[in-house]
Every structure is written in structure tokens, then in C-alpha cells.
A = this chain, B = another copy of it.
């Protein structure tokens, strides 16, 4: 029996909150301790983010699907998963959860609740990175979702662990994450003016992967393992 919409929306809110608290909080901690070595700081930020994704998707997946990402919700609706009428509420929960997660991280580290980021992330290489990052994320989700759904949490956690390093943008790959990270003047921030390009590239990447996997996996077999 599927949980009620209210429960699923709360799960999306809470999952996205904890995701952003981790992305931003571990970035603050990593920068504070790394003594200027950015590779060590990004490594800690990466390990925390990849690990929390495994935990959160295992936790909230059975309730809401654990999208925690408007690009995933849109792709799922396009592929006939979540009903279109539920999509706005999911996305609203993700956006407010993401902002609440940044505020939570700031409160835990004694920062002001909300601060605009001056971190420049622009240019075609960054946008292409976000396209690749989100294309890959949706490829992983669609590839595992049908053939081996219980592996999705590990596949997504592993993918983002890699994507933090193989893209020039450190793989935001998530419009809610992108908007919320504009509100933190710390390691993981992004200048507000750079967010629309990121989000556009992410949505195009998500759609491209969804279309491609619609062809790669044509038979809607029931999931099995």
C-alpha cells in the first residue's frame, strides 16, 4: 500500500533537508579542517555526500521514492511514474527542504542562517559538466530501477561520489540543491546568478537520459532480482 501524499511529501522535505545539511555542513567542516588543501576538503565533502545518499535513499525510498531532486521527479512523471498532479507538491517539498537544510547546516556551525554565495561557477565547461552529471545520474537511476531496484541507493551514492570528481562543476545535478547552495557563503556555494544555467543544463541532461533509456529498456517488465 502506497503511503499517503502527505507522508510522501514530508519524506521528500526531510530527505532533501538532510541531503543539503550534509552537502553544506560537510563542506564547512572540511574547509575548516583541511588547512588549505582543497583536494582533502573535497574528498571529505565527497565521502559525506555519497554516504548520506545511500542512507537517505534507503530510509526514504520506501516512503516517497526518495527523489530529493526536481529533475528526478520531472523525469519520473515523464516516464509515467509519479502522477503529474503530485509533481508540484514534490518539487515544493524539495525546494523548501533544501533551503531548510542549508539553514540547518548554518545553525549547526554557528553561521548566519542564510548568506548569498559569491562563488563563481559559470561558462560552457561548467554547463556541459552539469549536463553530463545529470545525464549520468538519470542513466544510473533508470538502469538500476527496473532490473535491480534494491541496488538504487548504492548505485546513486557511488555515482555521485565519482561525479563530484569527474565533472568540473563537482556535480550539483539537482535544481533544488543548486538553488539552496546559492544561499550559503561557504565551500559548496554557487553565485545566485549562475543558478539558471545550471538548472537548465540539469533538466536537459535528465530529459536526454530519460528518452535514451526509454529506448534502451523498452519492455516494462516487473522488477526482479
Count of A interface residues, CB-CB < 8 Å: 87
The reply to whether B43 and A42 form a contact with Cβ atoms under 8 Å apart is no
CA distance A82 to B60 in the complex (A): 24
Consensus secondary structure, chain A interface: helix
A110 at interface (Cβ–Cβ under 8 A)?
A: yes
A110→B107 CA distance, assembly (Å): 37
Q: How far apart sit A154 and B150, CA to CA, in the bound complex (Å)?
A: 13
Name A37's contact: one of B3, B37, B51, B147 (CB within 8 Å). Answer: B37
A1 on interface, CB distance cutoff 8 Å: yes
Taking a contact as CB atoms under 8 Å apart, the answer to whether A21 and B132 are in contact is yes
Interface string of A161-176 (1 = CB under 8 A from B): 1111111110000000
Q: Using A110-B168, A165-B25 as known contacts, say yes or no to A1 and B219 having CB atoms under 8 A apart.
A: yes
Contact A162 B39 (CB under 8 A): no
**CA–CA, A103 and B34, complex, Å:** 30
Stretch of A68-76, A83-91, A112-120, A138-146 at the chain-chain interface: A138-146
Choose from B24, B39, B225 the contact partner of A30 (Cβ within 8 Å): B39
Q: How many angstroms from the CA of A38 to the CA of B44 in the assembled complex?
A: 12
* Contact of A162 with B49 in the complex, beta carbons under 8 Å: yes
Residue ID in chain B nearest A25 by CB atoms = B166
Say which residue of B110, B168, B215 sits within 8 Å of A7 (CB atoms): B215
Give chain A interface residues in 23-60, CB to chain B under 8 Å: 24-26, 29-30, 33-52, 54-56, 58-60
User: What 5 A-B pairs are tightest by C-beta distance, nearest first?
Assistant: A59-B143, A62-B147, A25-B166, A52-B162, A26-B165
Could you jot down 25 A-B contacts, CB within 8 Å? A11-B216, A14-B212, A21-B132, A25-B166, A25-B167, A26-B166, A29-B168, A30-B39, A39-B41, A44-B165, A45-B165, A46-B47, A47-B161, A47-B165, A48-B164, A55-B156, A58-B151, A58-B154, A58-B155, A62-B146, A63-B216, A107-B128, A108-B166, A109-B125, A150-B151
